Structure 1
Amino acid sequence: MPTLSALYRYPIKSTAGEALDRATVTEEGLLRDRRFMLARPDGSFVTARRYPGLQRVFARFDGEQLSLTHDDHPAISELRDVFALRPFDTRVWRDDFPALTTTIRLDAWFSRIIGEPVHLLWLGERSNRHRDSIGVRVSFADGYPLLLTTEASLADINARTDGSHVMAQFRPNVVVTGSEAFAEDGWRRIRIGDVVFRVDKPCGRCVMITVDPARGERRSDGEPLRTLGRYRKRGKEVCFGENLVAENTGELRVGQAVEILD
């Protein structure tokens, strides 16, 4: 039976992932996943698609304090109690919604890293972004609460390329081992522990997966997007992984069985 082999969350959209042994599933995704995001003064969102160096930022948020580290910049921490919490209109793709400001210090820290003025925004305890198309509130993630990938599918890509790709390039929340390559394409509902997930849609991939997360730079060969484009195209999208919507809340733990319900 397939099993849950890894869990990741990304406290800030586009920064480095945090590996977890266990995680709480909420309606909006994993607890404290993508609760922060960078936005320009006009509200447009900023990601590692344009600024791949963001993946060298490591963020930790325990609900009370946000701590940030980067190899080339002094570390910084701020308590949630000092966040300004001013409403700030922003957008992720076609979704327009309000978020909350944090602090001038955090804004300045990120502005120095990417070289343009940005604000670090927080969703608060409850997201104001409701996606009618899937029927749930969503974090600052691109479009779905959670993303699932499998180790067998990554191995398939590595067999077709130079073998150097790592799961962090695909930024999943849930990683499964013990399945065949791309078996997830045929899953419709799964259960992990007590949590049931709807496997809603293949994840269309972009230039983000060409970023080497260790160096914070795009690969010059355009891989693995180039190879995936030759055999994983679905309509206009190049697909890897599956978007999930949780049907209930609960806790996930690495090592749990993944039951294919449909």
Structure 2
Amino acid sequence: MPTLSALYRYPIKSTAGEALDRATVTEEGLLRDRRFMLARPDGSFVTARRYAGLQRVFARFDGEQLFVMHDDHPAVSESRHAFARQPFQTGVWGDEFPALTTTLRLDAWFSRIVDEPVHLLWLGDRSNRHRDSIGVRVSFADGYPLLLTAEASLADVNARTDGSHVMAQFRPNVVVADSAAFAEDGWQRIRIGDVVFRVDKPCGRCVMITVDPATGERRPDGEPLRTLGRYRRQGKDVCFGQNLVAENSGELRVGQGVEILE
């Protein structure tokens, strides 16, 4: 049986991942995953697709306190009680919805990181973004609440390239071990612990996977996107990983079995 080998969440969209031993699954994804996002004054969202160095920002949010740090900037900590919480219209890939402002201090900190004026936005305890196409509310994630990847699939990519790629480049929430390479392509429903997931759609990849998470810089050779484009293309998309929708809430723990229901 495949097993759950790793869990990751990203408190702020496009910043570094946080490895977890256990996590709570909600309708919107892992608890406290992608609850914050950067946006320009006009509401357009800001990601590491353009500002690859955002992946060198480490964030932690315990539900009350947000802590952010970067090697080249003094760390900042703010309580959610200090957030201004003013409605701010924004959007992610065509979904338009209101979020909430945080603090001028956080805005200024991130504006220095990306070298342009930005606001750090918060979803609040409940996202105002409902995706009718999948029937659930979603965080600031690109389009789905959760992303699954498999260790064997990454090993296959590494066997076809220089072998240096790491799972952090693909920014998954759920990582599976002990499966065949790309076996996840054939899964339709799975159960991990008490949580059942619908395996909804392959994840189309972009230039983000060419960013080295350790340096926050893009690889000049365009890998692994270049190699994936030769053998993992489905229509217009270059695919790696599967988007998940949870059918119920519950707890996940690293080491649990992954049961293939369909």
Measure the CA separation in 1 of the matches of 2:245 and 2:118.
30
Q: Deviations over 1:206-243 (max 9, x none)?
A: 00000000000000000000000000000000000000
* Corresponding letter in the other structure for 1:81: H
Name the SS for the 1:100 alignment partner: strand
Does 2:232 correspond to 1:243? Answer: no
Measure the CA separation in 1 of the matches of 2:91 and 2:219.
28
Task: Tell me which residue corresponds to 2:86.
Answer: 86
Name the SS for the 1:226 alignment partner: helix
* Corresponding letter in the other structure for 1:66: L
Q: Deviations over 1:69-101 (max 9, x none)?
A: 100000000000000000000000110000000
Name the SS for the 2:197 alignment partner: strand
Task: Tell me which residue corresponds to 1:49.
Answer: 49
Measure the CA separation in 1 of the matches of 2:79 and 2:139.
21
Task: Tell me which residue corresponds to 1:125.
Answer: 125
Measure the CA separation in 2 of the matches of 1:27 and 1:113.
32
Does 2:39 correspond to 1:29? Answer: no
* Corresponding letter in the other structure for 2:40: R
Residues 54-93 of structure 1 correspond to what in structure 2 (within 5 A)?
54-93=54-93
Q: Deviations over 1:40-62 (max 9, x none)?
A: 00000000000000000000000
Measure the CA separation in 2 of the matches of 1:75 and 1:177.
35
What is the CA distance between 1:193 and its match in structure 2? 0.1
* Corresponding letter in the other structure for 1:158: N
Measure the CA separation in 2 of the matches of 1:100 and 1:94.
18
- Aligned Cα root-mean-square deviation (Å): 0.2
Does 2:36 correspond to 1:40? Answer: no
What is the CA distance between 1:162 and its match in structure 2? 0.2
Task: Tell me which residue corresponds to 2:168.
Answer: 168
Name the SS for the 2:34 alignment partner: coil
* Corresponding letter in the other structure for 1:247: E
Residues 191-210 of structure 1 correspond to what in structure 2 (within 5 A)?
191-210=191-210
Which structure 1 segments of 5+ residues have no match?
none
Measure the CA separation in 1 of the matches of 2:61 and 2:139.
15
Q: Work out the number of aligned pairs and report it.
A: 262
Task: Tell me which residue corresponds to 2:219.
Answer: 219
Q: TM-score, normalised by structure 1?
A: 1.00
Measure the CA separation in 2 of the matches of 1:217 and 1:50.
11
Q: Percent identity at matched positions?
A: 87
Runs in 1 of length 4+ with deviation above 4 angstroms?
none
What is the CA distance between 1:176 and its match in structure 2? 0.1
Name the SS for the 2:142 alignment partner: coil
Measure the CA separation in 2 of the matches of 1:24 and 1:52.
29
What is the CA distance between 1:180 and its match in structure 2? 0.2
Task: Tell me which residue corresponds to 2:258.
Answer: 258
Task: Tell me which residue corresponds to 1:177.
Answer: 177
Measure the CA separation in 2 of the matches of 1:73 and 1:165.
27
Q: TM-score, normalised by structure 2?
A: 1.00
* Corresponding letter in the other structure for 2:201: K
What is the CA distance between 1:204 and its match in structure 2? 0.1
Name the SS for the 1:68 alignment partner: strand
What is the CA distance between 1:102 and its match in structure 2? 0.0
Q: Deviations over 1:104-139 (max 9, x none)?
A: 000000000100000000000000000000000000
Name the SS for the 2:67 alignment partner: strand
Measure the CA separation in 2 of the matches of 1:81 and 1:133.
34
What is the CA distance between 1:255 and its match in structure 2? 0.1
What is the CA distance between 1:21 and its match in structure 2? 0.1
Measure the CA separation in 1 of the matches of 2:215 and 2:127.
32
Name the SS for the 2:8 alignment partner: strand
* Corresponding letter in the other structure for 2:260: I
